[in-house]
Amino acid sequence: MPKLTKSINSNRDGQTALDRREALKLFGFGAVAATAGSLLSTETAATPASAKALLNKLSGSTNYGSGKVSIKLPEIAENGAVVPITVSVDSPMTKASYVKAIHIAAELNPRPEVASFHLSPASGKAEVSTRMRMAKTMNVVAVAVMNDGSVQRAVRKVKVTIGGCGG
pLDDT (tens digit, 9 = 90+) per residue, 2-37?
555 544 555 565 555 667 777 667 677 666 556 555
Q: What angle do CA 109, 139, 120 make, to 5 degrees?
A: 90
Q: What is the pLDDT of residue 128?
A: 98
pLDDT of residue 42: 41
The CATH number of 48-160 is 2.60.40.2470
> Domains of the chain: which residue ranges?
8-39, 48-160
Phi-psi region of 69 (alpha: psi -120 to 50; beta: other; left: phi over 0): beta
- Quote the pLDDT of residue 99: 98
**Cβ atoms 16, 24 nearer than 8 A:** no
pLDDT in tens, 69-121: 999 999 999 999 999 999 999 999 999 999 999 999 999 999 999 999 999 99
Amino acid at 36: A
pLDDT at 17: 61
- Is the four-CA dihedral 119, 94, 127, 143 of positive or negative sign? positive
Q: pLDDT tens digit string along 126-162?
A: 999 999 999 899 999 999 999 999 999 999 999 999 8
Contact 165, 132 (CB under 8 A): no
> Left (φ > 0), alpha (ψ -120 to 50) or beta: where does 99 sit?
beta
As a dihedral over the C-alpha atoms of residue 92, residue 97, residue 103, residue 106, rounded to 10 degrees, the angle is -60
